[in-house]
A and B are shown apart, each in its own frame.
Chain A
Amino acid sequence: MDELDRGAEFTASEEEVEEALEEAAEDLGQPVEKVRENVESMLGRDDDPSTGFNESVTGESFEHDEVGEDDPRLEAIELYRLRQRI
């Protein structure tokens, strides 16, 4: 999970992200790698390396978001957990 040049800033530490991934995996009963793979997919930088395709979560505008987590990776993990309930 790499920060986009023209996207939202990563504010959490790598340790915090790893911890959140592990917690999500335990709660969901899934391997950590599966959670990581899906969260990376949700972050969706793919063919647009500096701007990113998922504006709401990894885009520059996420820095203005007052509803979700502060870090795009933590927000994607929360969304993935929510996704599993709906």
Chain B
Amino acid sequence: MTRYRGNRLNTESLWYGLYNKSIELGMWNPEALMDEIGFEEDKEIWQNLDDKEKEQVRRILVAFLDGEFEVGDDAVHHLQTIMDAPCLEDNEMKQMYMTSFALTEHKHTQFLDIYIENVMDGFDDYTDLNPRGEARVPIVEATGVGEVYEHQGRLTAKASETHDPVDIARAAACYHLDVEGILARTGFFAINKMSANAPLPLLNRGFKFISTDEGRHLTHGVRLLQELLEKERNGEPEYQGVGDAIVEVLNEDTPPMAEFAYMITDSVDDPLDVGFSNLLMRGGEFVDGMYNESLDLDYDSMEYVERIRHRYQDIDDSEIQADLEKLREEYQVKRGA
């Protein structure tokens, strides 16, 4: 909703509205939030958690830390360019929104990075090798979450070069629906669920602001895909294949997303009672909401649930441990140690 008209700007545009709301609601300052709430209570609660509880919180946060780094990077380098594609409408307003979009993603990295540094007593950290996201946290990489981030990087890079509508659909499906709509919302679910045993006030409020920002991002992603689907359904030749591409990307990302749910629950014995099955069923609802209610793709969300369940049953923890050790060795070699 806007109160003003412009000349060069289409203030009636959805993307102008998202841009405006990003300024009004998305420009919260992580450092000011930290000043307002303080670290003390979180530190005290953290120190009273046992080792497994700490590891469960740590795994959720490092997955977000690597993820926010990747989405911020891809937003700057790829999404901004994609919004200039001739096959899209309202390019100027979409590009304008994307500037605030990129800022909010970086702000999330800022919150997580400073929080982890000031509250938690370390993690499996190879940040010194990570100037361009080349050394993700080993558990994130070993459990397949890194695969989704790699996928997102490849798809957004390709779409930014080709400006092809099907490539854009694939990129948006991975970035907005899978990473923001399923992975991130699953993480938000876990943060709320664990608050009964780990009611970390600064973390909780920070995540609620992050989730609110991500809600606007999801609106953008879904509306962008609706725009492409509408043209496909109207029979425009260039857009044929958009719907199939969106579903293909979901199927490609489903196995590693199952590993994410495993990584933050059963792989550490789930001491904070998040519940793998809770994440599984909520994920199915996210899929049904986005793919069916919003995009009308007639996708069987139970198929998603079954794929997640099958991958979960196949997960071999000893393989993950072996991958972890291999990654740590590779990182040590890179360090020259």
Contacts and interface: CB of A to CB of B under 8 A. Distances in A.
Interface stretch (A9-17, A18-26, A48-56): A48-56
Contacts of B29: 86
A19 B211 CA distance: 25
Given A54-B215, A56-B212, A64-B196, A41 B25 contact: yes
A57 B208 contact: yes
Interface residues of A, number: 34
B188 A61 contact: yes
B212 A57 contact: yes
The range of chain B's interface size is 35 or more
Interface in B178-223: 181, 185, 188-193, 195-196, 199-201, 204-205, 207-212, 214-216, 218-219, 222-223
Interface in B27-56: 28-29, 32-33, 35-36
Interface string A31-56: 00000011001101011111111111
8 contacts: A46-B219, A47-B223, A48-B222, A48-B294, A50-B289, A54-B211, A55-B189, A79-B208
Interface of A: 6, 37-38, 41-42, 44, 46-57, 59-62, 64-68, 75, 79-80, 82-83, 85-86
Interface of B: 1, 21, 24-25, 28-29, 32-33, 35-36, 181, 185, 188-193, 195-196, 199-201, 204-205, 207-212, 214-216, 218-219, 222-223, 226, 282, 285-286, 288-290, 293-294
